[in-house]
Amino acid sequence: MDALDGNAIAGALYAHFGTDLTAASGRCRHCGTRAQIAELAVYARAPGVVVRCRACGGVVIVVVEIRGASRVELTHFELA
């Protein structure tokens, strides 16, 4: 499966946070790699969207839509 870049979740992040976060930097809590959200690997062919660190492949962000509202889980990506 081919990965998209982090820009693929720009709309969901904007809907959830009210601002464009694709240029925001953060750190993968699995391996410590720093990256912008736009540089992460996005896999959108699932019930939700899975975002992985390009360095270690760890899941850092999960985006799902529940009853018309976006839910974003950032437990493993620490925004800087």
Residue 78: predicted pLDDT: 95
Which pLDDT score, from 0 to 100, does residue 45 have?
Answer: 84
User: For each of the chain's 80 residues, which pLDDT tens digit applies?
Assistant: 789 999 999 999 998 899 999 999 999 999 999 999 999 999 998 789 999 999 999 999 999 988 888 899 999 999 98
Range of the domain at 31: 4-79
Extended beta strands in the chain, E state: 4-5, 25-28, 34-36, 41-43, 49-52, 59-66, 69-73, 77-79
Question: What's the pTM value of the predicted model, to 2 decimals?
Answer: 0.91
The domain tally of the chain equals: 1
pLDDT at 70: 80
The predicted pLDDT at position 80 comes to 84
